[in-house]
Structure 1
Amino acid sequence: MIYYILLFIFMLLLTIVNIQAMPKLKRYEPDSKTPQPLISILIPMRNEERNVKRIISSIKGLTYSNLECVILDDQSTDQTRTQLLKEIHGDPRFTIIEGKELREGWVGKVHACHQLSQSANGDYLLFVDADVELKERTLEHTLATAQATKAALLTGFPRFPVKTWLEALVVPLQHVVVFSYLPVVVANRNKMSKASAAHGAFMFIKKEAYEAVGGHEAVKSSLVEDVHLAQLFKQKKHHVILANITSHVSCYMYETTEEVWNGFAKNIFVGLGRSAKAVWVLSVFLPVTMCCRFLFL
């Protein structure tokens, strides 16, 4: 029992230290002599009608002037496209493309992101999920941080507003699982591919580097393509930064308790590297976390 308490304390302290070690998004200082690079915001959507209004509204509210937004409607069967046309309302910065049939050997989201990249014209590519909301200065501050750190890929964990008790309990474990074992300072300062973390809801990438590593096609069969893409960038000697983006990016992952359970049940084993030992440790850690929340929060 003492062993588990000590393990819990160690994981908690390491999580706190790692969160503090992550660089925050920097203030943007525009250079009047250098034109703003074009940023392509790329959004895969499949049956996302409930998220359309929020994400389109937040993109329209961005203050960065040189942007385009390409949205892939991946054969949605709900009102996603209708809602997109309504919310975009003729804004020329937005383009909707039709998703193609899934090719053999590809995972759905990876296939969608690959198609989006082929339609992008930007110097930088920002892949975001449909359930994301961006603050108005997100692009300026992300670009400034990427340029200051010489990052070819900048990613981070968004803020996760929660609605249900299960969501409040398990969604933060995404951070804990990563930050309780990954030294962020080490990960951000070296190119060891195993010392990598990423979140597919927000991936800011220099297009030149993206094409050099083979883009999403190079990880076409991955269920955790964000992490594998970050590892690939490091293998190819590109700099990857895990930043604290919670001040600028929010992600509304789930609406119901059932969605929370199904989402984590589907992804947890793959996300832990298919390690039975890691699943066992998390199975012990989760009840301890539950007890601590009920006793002390």
Structure 2
Amino acid sequence: MSTLGILAILTLLYWFYALIEVQRNIHLLSTLPPSTKLLEKPPLVSVIIAAKEEEGTIRETVQHLLSQHYPRLEIIAVNDRSQDATGVRLDELRQWSEGKSDIHTKLQIIHITQLPKGWLGKNHALYQGYLQARGQYILFTDADILFAPSTIQDAVTYMKQNEVDHLTLTPHMLAKGALLRGFVHFFLFSFSLFVRPWRANRESAREPGIGIGAFNMVSRKAYEAIGTHQAIALRPDDDLQLGIFLKRAGFRQKVLSGKHLLQVEWYRSLQEAITGLEKNLFSGFRYSYTVAVLACLGQLIFFIGPWLGLILLWDWRGALLAVAVCLQIWLYRKLMFHLMSQRGNEAYLLPISAALLLYTIVRSVWLTWKQGGIIWRGTFYSLKELKKKPSPTNK
């Protein structure tokens, strides 16, 4: 049998495996239910936002948080060395909120001017926010997320009723234009097949954990037990690592869909998306060239290969790859609908999106190697620093 024949069989088997995995487990990734009644003694929740050069989005994000229905809330916005008007916008928001009689949520602003050695800027900013936080629960979120008014109320009620230590939510991701939408959605699709986020909802600590930057709500006791952000001080994927550390330490974790409660425009253009991802994709492979090469081969063989075979091979191998293409499209549409209520009509762009992601991975590895590290939000971090292994604290 030829090499192409073997690859065709392996590719089809992979997509059948993916189909079975999704069909058997997608029910584990449910939607955050609405709260039916108010808690008798609602705990204080501290919302911490790290903002660097976010003058265009920070105002709307904070205003949405100030409009939450939840009765016991404090918001701590950390201006992380911004060179634009982010700090000014935050100070204006604090003055504005203090002058409103119908706003009872405390808004605290922290301005950071220097970054100490051994920290990524965002992680340091979130940690500084935690040092000022008084809440029993801490919500880490990004500076461009729009919250529905009931979001925090629903989240806290769910965590209390189900004895959950860490709740992370997937947002509805906005993207303008078919090509950008296809690329962003494909990244979510391939990431889901790689990480299989539904596994985090199984009780076993052996299952991998997950965290999503749009919404990471954690109990103070769990956050402090794993060593806070000090344990992941140099991780660009801090949101994911926070979830991994919490699950590994044995805390109860849930990942749910928040598509009806959270909204974000992740990137405004395709170029911005590629540039943004190339800075931290390599970190997702633990800065291992071997893992990165395997990831590239996986994209090429299992995601792009079936489409090429569909066009170029007019025999039984092409027929097998045609079935693989059909399974890929079907799974893509199913996951898009389940995660974001999107029909996945841009599925015809799957091979283009896969090729763009492959290019982004290669460029991420190459740039990191060439520079000897990464430039993250205006600061350079050496590969030697980034490879330092943190040591999580067990429960």
* Structure-2-length-normalised TM-score: 0.68
Q: Partner of 2:96: helix, strand, or coil?
A: coil
* Rounded Cα–Cα distance in structure 1 between residues aligned with 2:36 and 2:159: 13
CA offset at residue 184 of structure 1? 4.8
CA offset at residue 288 of structure 1? 6.4
Moved more, 3-12 or 245-254: 3-12
Letter in 1 for 2:73: L
Structure 1 residue 135 and structure 2 residue 151: aligned? no
Q: 2:136 aligns with which of 103, 120, 123?
A: 123
Distance verdict in 2 for CA 1:57–1:192, change over 3 Å:
same
Structure 1 residue 279 and structure 2 residue 287: aligned? no
Letter in 2 for 1:231: I
- 2:83 maps to which residue? 77
- 2:162 maps to which residue? 149
Q: 1:105 aligns with which of 118, 130, 149?
A: 118
CA offset at residue 193 of structure 1? 5.2
Contact conserved, 1:164 with 1:257, CA < 8 A, in 2? no
Letter in 1 for 2:11: Y
- 2:213 maps to which residue? 200
- 2:348 maps to which residue? 294
- 2:201 maps to which residue? 188
- 1:4 maps to which residue? 11
Q: Partner of 2:229: helix, strand, or coil?
A: helix
Q: 1:50 aligns with which of 52, 56, 65?
A: 56
Q: 1:225 aligns with which of 231, 238, 242?
A: 238
Letter in 2 for 1:278: A
Structure 1 residue 247 and structure 2 residue 260: aligned? yes
Letter in 2 for 1:26: P
Letter in 1 for 2:70: Y
Letter in 2 for 1:84: L
Distance verdict in 2 for CA 1:86–1:250, change over 3 Å:
same
1:131-188, Cα deviation, whole Å (9 max, x unpaired): 1111110011111222233211111221101113342122223432343244555421
Distance verdict in 2 for CA 1:113–1:48, change over 3 Å:
same
CA offset at residue 271 of structure 1? 2.1
CA offset at residue 125 of structure 1? 0.6
CA offset at residue 284 of structure 1? 4.3
* Rounded Cα–Cα distance in structure 2 between residues aligned with 1:184 and 1:128: 19
Distance verdict in 2 for CA 1:119–1:284, change over 3 Å:
farther
Q: 2:30 aligns with which of 19, 23, 38?
A: 23
Distance verdict in 2 for CA 1:183–1:255, change over 3 Å:
closer
Letter in 1 for 2:219: K
Contact conserved, 1:191 with 1:238, CA < 8 A, in 2? no
Between the two structures, name the one with larger relative contact order (CA 8 Å, sep ≥ 6): 1
- What is the aligned residue count? 295
Q: Structure 1: where are the runs of 5+ without partners?
A: none
- 1:59 maps to which residue? 65
**Which structure's CA Rg is the greater one?**
2
Letter in 2 for 1:43: I
CA offset at residue 55 of structure 1? 0.4
Moved more, 15-24 or 89-98: 15-24
* Rounded Cα–Cα distance in structure 1 between residues aligned with 2:263 and 2:301: 29
Distance verdict in 2 for CA 1:212–1:289, change over 3 Å:
farther
* Structure-1-length-normalised TM-score: 0.88
* Rounded Cα–Cα distance in structure 2 between residues aligned with 1:6 and 1:143: 42
- 1:160 maps to which residue? 173
Q: Partner of 1:50: helix, strand, or coil?
A: coil
Distance verdict in 2 for CA 1:138–1:253, change over 3 Å:
same
Letter in 2 for 1:199: I
Contact conserved, 1:192 with 1:235, CA < 8 A, in 2? yes
* Rounded Cα–Cα distance in structure 1 between residues aligned with 2:188 and 2:25: 10
Moved more, 236-245 or 265-274: 265-274
* Rounded Cα–Cα distance in structure 2 between residues aligned with 1:236 and 1:247: 30
Distance verdict in 2 for CA 1:71–1:224, change over 3 Å:
same
* Rounded Cα–Cα distance in structure 2 between residues aligned with 1:136 and 1:237: 31
* Rounded Cα–Cα distance in structure 1 between residues aligned with 2:240 and 2:73: 26
1:65-101, Cα deviation, whole Å (9 max, x unpaired): 2111100001111111222233444324211101252
Letter in 2 for 1:225: D
Query: What value does the CA root-mean-square deviation take over the aligned residues?
Result: 2.6
* Rounded Cα–Cα distance in structure 2 between residues aligned with 1:147 and 1:173: 34
Letter in 2 for 1:63: H
